[in-house]
Chains A and B, each alone.
Chain A
Amino acid sequence: MSASTEQIDDILKKGYDAGFVTDIEEEYAPPGLSEEIVRFISKKKQEPEWLLEWRLKAYRRWLEMKEPTWAKVTYPKIDFQDICYYAAPKTNENAPKSLDEVDPELLATYEKLGIPLHEREVLAGVAVDAVFDSVSVATTFRDKLAEVGVIFMPFSEAVQEHPELVKRYLGSVVPVSDNFYAALNSAVFSDGSFVYIPKGVRCPMELSTYFRINAAKTGQFERTLIIADEGSYVSYLEGCTAPMRDENQLHAAVVELVTHEGAQIKYSTVQNWYPGDENGKGGILNFVTKRGLCEGARSKISWTQVETGSAITWKYPSCILKGDDSVGEFYSVALSNHRQQADTGTKMIHLGKNTKSTIISKGISAGHGQQTYRGGVKISRGATNARNYTQCDSLLIGDKCGAHTVPYVDVRNSSSKLEHEATTSRIGEDQLFYCRQRGLSEEDAVSLIVNGFAKQVLKELPMEFAVEAQKLLGVSLEGAVG
């Protein structure tokens, strides 16, 4: 019943649809990192003095820090002096005010990617902030959102228009010295999205950011900050793509979420950065710090991620459950094919009473892919009646891939209850046989089984993302079974 290696190889050599380069005039900062570059970026953004100071502090901390080596990933050494820390499409002096002012090339790019950037695509019902290399190019539906008091704008604009909010929350969840990549991001972040949902408001539509790395030899360092004030709710989607290039490109983002009493943030990611070719050449090095703080009682943060891209993924979206009765969730499907390596998972830190967390992680490895779930659950002394449930399953396709599970569990409160379970296996021959016997082709059978395997996570995704995610999983895995 096993497909030949050639067959598998054929299928694994699937194309990367988003791998085109947009020919557009861009403005660069010279490569390399120094205080001057940090000042240059800050000046370019016309930032206030306090933010420049904040960046410089981060830069100085970064200089003292060492690149982390504990993750189970290998990649060529990153030369931080060979990267451009700022690249922006050249526009007329000011940033575009409406879509008409946006470079048509750029719009065509997003069109190709199928992002409902244009407002006439109202049917999609999604407000989009699109980040192209280092700057945010357009944010849709701003007026409609403003009516209910929701602030959704590029980070650089928020710095100008809502400095008090930015100053209060920036770095409050991920401090500048949190880790090597977070410090780097804090020093050189160029843009990103800023969201504030006022008290008691349920955001009328799903908010979305689309990240696109275009320029060669650049890094992307975006920063997202989402604040949900008391009793509010927002669902936020994030998607990413990049052109196919032979050299690795660095992506080091920071995402901070804060929920106040009774508020809820649902954060969904479909990450499809260029994974490199089948020999592991090129691809995005994705080093991301994402963390949410459930500040208020009864608040909730839910992370859902579908990770199919990037050569290296180093990402641990986490929740700090500080408010009593707060809830943290993490749903993840990660797929590594070819030479992709993913070291991903979550951290749930229970501080408040009656806090609950759920972790569902599904890893799929194929080809020479390497997959690691690395998670931590910490229940502190004061977290009375805390509850955690963790399940991480791995599916192996082919005899050259690897799947690893590294959970850390730390419990200091006797009334808490914690369960962790994990399984690793390949697609069952009896399952395949059953499907084939019912007339499904081998490819359809595999697709069915893989989608079934990931269903628990996919069902957490908002509709339009779920479709995309299923497609992504399907394309990369059809028939790739031995």
Chain B
Amino acid sequence: MTNTNRQTLLGSLPTSFDKGPDWLRALRGRAAETLREHGLPTKRTEAWRFTPVRSVVDAEFSREEEGVPSLASPLPDGVTARSLRDVLRSEPELLDGRLDLGGAPTHFAALNTALFDDGLWIDVPAGNVVEAPIELALAITKSAGRGVVYSRVLVTVGDDAELTLVETYAGEEGGQLTNSVVEVDLGCNAKMSHVRVHENAGFQVGRVDVRQAADSAYRSTVVTLGGALLRFDVRCLLQGKGAECQLDGAYLIDGDDHVDHHTVVEHQASHCRSEQTYRGIASGKGTAVFDGIVIVHRGAQKTEAHQENRNLLLSDMATIHTKPHLEIDADDVICSHGATVGSLDQDQLFYLRTRGIPEPLANAMLTYAFLESIVDRVIHEPTRARMREALLTRIPHAEDIRGVT
């Protein structure tokens, strides 16, 4: 299945697109043009300053065919999951305007837009409340050569509908490069809870783009447990009045890991609310980056936006970069952000030690508790338990901690 013809990412762009409906060919053409003009990001690109993408941009890859995440749970009633390739063949008009990432795909998302071959479209029709989560998994396999996978998912949730989506990206060290794009369209008063777990995700550039109609609510929880090079962007466009989003994230890195989480929340309508809470722990020689932007557009009055990023730096060889960032062009707003970087609280450690808990265990407990508070925000209980377990496998003295909690 693997194409052994290896090329750089930009080199793999075709000169013309001749398959699929007109709008798709035009969309791919535009994305390719943007890429040819501006190239892939470098260290001089502000939003990519800390992401060492050069190793990816300069490398040669062979294209892997399988890029479609598989359904890891039975499909609940009322939900359809269709192959993007099939829909593009049979009813392409259904997808027109839904794969353009809000108008201007750039960098790796543009690459994905130009090159994705297949993907998944999950649709929850209006009024359908789905209790059980839909689970998607993409296994990142170690390829003989260096492979690249383009993964594409579209989720549409109709008016008043509800959905829980759990995505797992797991793999082996030194695996292929995954370029994943997930687009979410939420109708009026729709609700979606979106959990995404990166377990040793190897090389990955991921992007989630959410468009929200009035009164919709989107909750995202991202848990990243290591990654040779992980760059993950979430962008929420609050387009309808009264829409809400809550973006939570936890990252735990070690060794030579580099994980990079970016968020963009755009308040385009009034009376919207957003909240972001990201927590991270860096040890070993790892580097963790958080970069979050809240943009409040002119006229988006009565906005409430909060942003928080807390980090623990547990080794002198590790590095933390954080850049919470506000751009506000309306006046009737309540906005705040905060960021901290520090080590474990000595008072808390002392307290645990006075209770007879040995220092290594006390350290592990506090480390775990720091990130567990993010995992705890996942509403769906079985998913929450699974994520706790995934987190515990990365923490020393897991047995003892299980006994305590």
Q: Which positions in A face B, CB cutoff 8 Å?
A: 70, 379, 381, 394, 396-426, 482
Contacts and interface: CB of A to CB of B under 8 A. Distances in A.
B334 interface: yes
B338 A404 contact: no
B342 A417 contact: yes
A246 to B, nearest CB: 28
B295 to A, nearest CB: 9
B347 interface: no
Contact of B338 (A401, A408, A421): A421
10 contacts: A398-B331, A400-B298, A401-B331, A403-B328, A407-B323, A409-B320, A415-B316, A416-B342, A421-B337, A425-B335
A420 B313 contact: no
A422 B326 contact: yes
Given A411-B313, A413-B313, A425 B341 contact: no
Contacts of B317: 381
Among B322, B326, B331, B333, chain A packs the most CB atoms within 10 A around the CB of B331
B323 A396 contact: no
Contacts of A410: 319-321
Interface of B: 46, 298-299, 301, 311, 313-343
Given A381-B316, A402-B328, A406-B325, A415 B343 contact: yes
A405 B314 CA distance: 28
Among A394, A413, A416, A417, chain B packs the most CB atoms within 10 A around the CB of A413
Contact of B318 (A396, A405, A414, A415): A414
Contacts of B326: 403-406, 422, 424
User: When A and B form their complex, which 10 residue pairs have the shortest distance between CB atoms, in order from nearest?
Assistant: A396-B331, A424-B335, A421-B338, A402-B329, A420-B339, A417-B342, A405-B326, A411-B341, A418-B341, A423-B336
Contacts of B314: 414
A404 B328 contact: yes
Nearest to A404: B327
A396 B333 contact: yes
A482 B339 CA distance: 31
A411 B319 contact: yes
A418 B342 CA distance: 6
B324 A407 contact: yes
Given A405-B324, A418-B340, 12 more contacts: A400-B298, A404-B326, A406-B323, A409-B320, A411-B313, A411-B319, A413-B316, A416-B341, A418-B342, A419-B338, A420-B338, A422-B337
Nearest to A414: B313
Contacts of A402: 327-329
B208 to A, nearest CB: 23
Nearest to A396: B331
B323 A409 contact: yes
A409 B341 contact: yes
A-side interface mostly: strand
A399 B301 contact: yes
A9 B299 CA distance: 19
A422 B327 CA distance: 12
A400 B322 CA distance: 29
Contacts, number: 116
A110 to B, nearest CB: 39
Among A70, A406, A414, A482, chain B packs the most CB atoms within 10 A around the CB of A414
A402 B326 CA distance: 10
A421 B336 contact: yes
Contacts of B337: 405, 420-422
B313 A409 contact: no
A399 B336 contact: no
Contacts of A412: 316, 318-320
A397 B331 contact: yes
B327 A419 contact: no
B291 to A, nearest CB: 9
A482 B318 contact: no
A305 to B, nearest CB: 21
Contacts of A397: 331
B325 A414 contact: no
Nearest to B342: A417
B324 A426 contact: no
Contacts of B320: 409-412
Contact of A407 (B301, B313, B319, B325): B325
Contacts of A415: 316, 343
A424 B321 CA distance: 23
Contacts of A414: 313-316, 318, 343
A189 B329 CA distance: 37
B339 A423 contact: no
A361 to B, nearest CB: 13
Nearest to B344: A414
A418 B325 CA distance: 17
A420 B314 CA distance: 19
Given A400-B298, A403-B328, A408 B323 contact: yes
Contacts of B298: 399-400
Contacts of B315: 414
Nearest to A394: B328
Contacts of B343: 414-415, 417
B339 A424 contact: no
Contacts of B301: 399
A414 B363 CA distance: 14
A416 B314 CA distance: 10
A399 B323 contact: no
A201 B342 CA distance: 38
A439 B329 CA distance: 32
B290 to A, nearest CB: 9
B50 to A, nearest CB: 9
A351 to B, nearest CB: 15
Nearest to B306: A423
B342 A407 contact: no
Contacts of A408: 321, 323
Nearest to A378: B321
Nearest to A423: B336
Given A414-B314, A418-B340, A409 B322 contact: yes
Nearest to B50: A410
Nearest to A370: B329
Contacts of B325: 404-407
Nearest to B49: A408
